[in-house]
Amino acid sequence: MGFWKNLFSGSDTSSAPIAAQIEGYQSAGTSDRPGTNPRVYFSTDRDIDLYELEELCDAVGWSRRPLRKVKKAIQYSFLVVSMWEMRGKTRRLIGFSRATSDHAFNATIWDVVVHPEFQGKGFGKSLMNYTIKRLRSEDISNITLFADPHVVEFYRTLGFMSDPEGIKGMFWYPNR
């Protein structure tokens, strides 16, 4: 419960913003030449190269989606967060999430993806923490998401619960 208490109370124990907490990232085998050590940072800029986003989604095995629909989803999202690795002057998209919202009470997080090279190293947690803090800064108090079975435990470690009040989600899909 400490994770949620920290988010909702606004009493962050660190003085550095989350983005700065992961800037010190250095990958194994990185060259000692100046300007080649990687940094990782977040952006909320919606001007994302859709082909680069598609490559990221391909890297984790997601099925392809029409780019026109991805563009529309980003355009109409309440929040878009991208996570970038910067090596010298080259940047690479390594993580992404977005959220829709009613702009008052509720938000749903969608499309959380972290490149496989960065999974299991705390980057997904940093991406989610950043996304949640941005939503909380907009006074959004109810945050939901949908998770595939193989990542449910990851979200539980962040404080998400399955059906906390016994509410059953319902879905409508067109006939296929």
Q: Which residues form the catalytic set?
A: 155
Q: How far apart are CA 12 and CA 2, in angstroms?
A: 11
Element (H, E) at 42: strand 39-43
Q: Is 64 exposed, middle or buried (0-12, 13-18, 19+ CB in 10 A)?
A: exposed
Q: How far apart are CA 88 and CA 30, in angstroms?
A: 12
Task: Tell me the Cα Rg of the chain.
Answer: 17
The two tokens of residue 15 are 């003085």
Residue 60 contacts residue 151 (beta carbons within 8 Å)? no
Q: Which residues pair with 42 in a beta bridge?
A: 83
The two tokens of residue 155 are 């979200």
Q: How far apart are CA 129 and CA 16, in angstroms?
A: 13
